[in-house]
Amino acid sequence: MRQTMSLTRVMRTYCAVAVGVLLLTAGALLLGGPMSARLDGDASIAAVTAGLGVAGTLLLLVLGYRSLRRQIGEMQAERDTMLANAHRDALTGAFTRSYFLSRLREDVKHEPDWSMGYMQIDMDHLKVLNDSGGHSAGDAALVHLIGAVGRILPGAMVGRLGGDEFGIAVRGIESKPALRRLGDQILRELGEPLQISGRPVRLSATIGIAMAPFDAQDVDQLISKADLALYKGKRSGRHTTVAFEDDMLVDERHRRFIERDLRAAILLNELDLHYQPIFGRDGRTIRSYEALVRWQHSVRGTIMPSDFIPIAEESDLIDKLGDWVLRRACLDFASLSAPSVSINVSAVQLRRPDFAERFGKILAEAGMDGSRLVVEVTETVPMQAGTIEQTNLFALGAFGVRIAVDDFGAGYASLEYLRGFKFDIIKIDRSYVSNLPAGRADALIVSAICKIARSLSLEVVAEGIETEEQLRFLQSCGCTGFQGYLLGRPAPLRVGASVARALASAA
Ligand code: C2E
Ligand code: CA
Ligand code: CA
């Protein structure tokens, strides 16, 4: 800033000196001309000489001015580059958060008709990559992401907004669909196989986009709208580009409503568990039930878990909800005529250092034998020994609790899971079952999973079975458990007064 002022001062001083020199030259020539004319008597030659003198000085001054201006311009550009480089993230070369934001705001301040495309990118599953390949693997992935952005959007301004989150400002884009295509191009490039820490990986990211002036009047609005779109993309399964739409503001209001009311619902005991039977090899005998949470809202009726679990996972609500589910499943167990009951545990719950301890306390309070419980976790849980998640799962194992990997095959680390962690049950993801038996690739994958599971002495449960053909095929593959609408839908259990009282006193 100070440097800009001193450069401006140099220009001003030059202009003042130039005007002075010009005035002096003109004065000297205008005074000197008539005097020399009086002496030698030729006034016209004197006037021409004076004119030429002034013109020559003027020319020299203009040339000097232009050269000085160019040099100052170069110095300014050099200084801007140095300043910008001082505000770059050392790993990726993207601008730091505060510099990126202030430059964006500064850039559009003097443009009344500014237009800009904006992308908010979030690398998917960076934590899993860090846990499985070390921090150098996570770093390499981020560098690769920014490299891809640079290749596809060479003129864009990129800022690192958080650990795995980046903002990209793109000028000269005429429409949101065009911006979205560029986002998809980045995702395609990221999805190409590459080697990180000597292992083949395919990276993925989620992108939210918004455009000014259509979506926003200022930079902050633009960023928060792209962020809402990004949030939507993450909730709908990641690895996608989502453009901001006005409806998302309604979703945001919905999110706030859920956060507020769910807290009250847990205390007021407005949650409920529905139970879906899981059948044994013969497809007729119930061997356990899966507990699936429901929210009986006094005004909105039944709210399904997909509408509130992802929101609960963003705060301690998921822990409160998880404790409630475990307590309730333990209390209900006596009324379930089955050897065991499964509950779903979110990867976020397993990240809490005191998870296993609280779990053990609830089991003890309910007098529940751990071997009657199955905990279903998804593949997003890191599988390396030594992580908090694994320590928690190991402690559950010590209580006799069995661990099932839910939605097996839906994530990107399925096979890694098979060798990484000792668990007891595989639940084949519904998406494989729905195409059976006609979908050849799915049929091959399912039978391969069953073979591997058999050789590792793991149980395999197939979920989402809706037709007799699917059931027969899965039986022929050697699945050991079956679950789906064909065999039994999730249904509520009638709660006795004693269970309701126990829950009310625990809340
Ligand atoms: P999930 O663990 O994969 O649960 C199975 C889901 O598939 C359930 O949906 C169930 O109703 C549905 N389903 C069962 N059979 C069929 C079928 O034949 N066809 C089809 N199309 N669907 C079937 P629901 O109850 O809506 O649960 C959705 C997800 O919410 C669950 O997926 C689970 O990830 C999560 N969830 C449910 N309860 C809890 C809970 O208490 N805690 C946590 N952390 N997550 C839960
Ligand atoms: Ca489940
Ligand atoms: Ca599942």
**Per-residue confidence in pLDDT tens, the chain, 507 aa:** 445 556 667 777 777 777 777 777 777 766 665 555 565 556 677 677 777 777 888 888 888 888 888 888 888 888 877 777 789 999 999 999 999 999 999 988 888 888 999 999 999 988 888 877 888 999 999 999 999 999 999 999 999 998 899 999 999 998 999 999 999 999 999 999 988 888 888 899 999 999 999 999 899 999 999 999 998 898 888 899 999 999 888 888 888 889 999 999 998 889 999 999 999 999 999 999 999 999 999 888 899 999 899 899 988 999 999 999 999 999 999 888 889 999 999 999 999 999 999 999 999 999 999 999 999 998 777 766 778 998 999 999 999 999 999 999 887 667 777 776 778 999 999 999 999 988 899 999 999 999 999 999 999 999 999 999 999 999 999 999 999 999 999 999 865 555 555 555 665
- Secondary element (H or E) of residue 212: strand 205-212
274, 290 Cβ separation under 8 angstroms: no
Which residue has the least CA distance to atom 11 on ligand 1?
A: 490
Q: Considering only CA atoms, which of 300, 302, 299 is closest in space to residue 271?
A: 302
| Alpha helices (runs of H) in 268-345, residue ranges in sequence order | 305-312, 317-332
**403: alpha, beta or left? (left if phi > 0; alpha if psi -120 to 50):** beta
Which residue has the least CA distance to atom 34 on ligand 1?
A: 344
- Residues flanking ion ligand 3, Cβ below 5 Å: 406-407
Which residue has the least CA distance to atom 19 on ligand 1?
A: 464
97-245 against 253-499: fold identical: no
Q: Ligand 1 mean position to 382 CA, how many Å?
A: 21
Question: 267 CB contacts (<8 Å, ≥6 apart)?
Answer: 507
Which residue has the least CA distance to atom 9 on ligand 1?
A: 292
Select 97-245's CATH number: 3.30.70.270, 3.40.50.1220, 2.60.40.420, 3.40.50.1100.
Answer: 3.30.70.270
Ligand closest to CA 346: 1
Residue with tokens 């391969």: 448
Which residue has the least CA distance to atom 38 on ligand 1?
A: 292
Ligand closest to CA 429: 3
Q: Ligand 2 mean position to 406 CA, how many Å?
A: 5
Q: How many CB atoms lie within 10 A of CB 24?
A: 11
| pLDDT tens digits along 295-307 | 999 888 899 999 8
Residue 150 corresponds to which tokens in the numbers above? 């640079």
Q: How many CB atoms lie within 10 A of CB 314?
A: 12
Residue 227 corresponds to which tokens in the numbers above? 């962020």
pLDDT of residue 72: 84
Q: Ligand 1 mean position to 302 CA, how many Å?
A: 14
Residue with tokens 């006094």: 298
Q: Ligand 3 mean position to 366 CA, how many Å?
A: 26
Which residue has the least CA distance to atom 46 on ligand 1?
A: 344
| pLDDT tens digits along 184-200 | 999 999 999 988 888 88
Angle subtended at Cα 60 by Cα 56 and Cα 63, rounded to the nearest 5 degrees: 140
Q: Ligand 2 mean position to 429 CA, how many Å?
A: 10
Q: Ligand 2 mean position to 485 CA, how many Å?
A: 14
Ligand closest to CA 276: 1
Ligand closest to CA 484: 1
Q: How many CB atoms lie within 10 A of CB 432?
A: 23
Nearest atom, ligand 1, residue 376 CA = 2
Which residue has the least CA distance to atom 35 on ligand 1?
A: 305
What does residue 423 show for φ and ψ, rounded to 5 degrees? -125, 180
Q: Ligand 3 mean position to 424 CA, how many Å?
A: 15
Which residue has the least CA distance to atom 16 on ligand 1?
A: 464
Is residue 506 exposed (0-12), middle (13-18) or buried (19+ Cβ within 10 Å)?
Answer: middle
Q: Where are the domains of the chain?
A: 2-86, 97-245, 253-499
pLDDT of residue 496: 53
CATH architecture of 253-499: Alpha-Beta Barrel (3.20)
Distances in Å between the Cα of 505 and the Cα atoms of 88, 264, 268, 270, 327 are 55, 15, 11, 14, 12
β-strand partners of 212: 116
Q: Ligand 1 mean position to 443 CA, how many Å?
A: 23
Which residue has the least CA distance to atom 43 on ligand 1?
A: 344
Q: Ligand 1 mean position to 293 CA, how many Å?
A: 9
Which residue has the least CA distance to atom 15 on ligand 1?
A: 484
Nearest atom, ligand 1, residue 273 CA = 41
Q: Among 273, 289, 292, 375, say which to mutate for ligand 1: greatest number of ligand atoms within 8 Å of CB.
A: 292
Find the distance separating the first CA and the last CA of the chain, reported in whole Å. 59
Ligand 1 cavity residues, CB under 6 Å? 276, 292-293, 304-306, 309, 325, 344-346, 376, 406-407, 463-466, 484-485, 490
Q: Ligand 2 mean position to 378 CA, how many Å?
A: 8
Q: Ligand 3 mean position to 328 CA, how many Å?
A: 20
Q: Among 274, 290, 343, 344, say which to mutate for ligand 1: greatest number of ligand atoms within 8 Å of CB.
A: 344
pLDDT of residue 413: 65
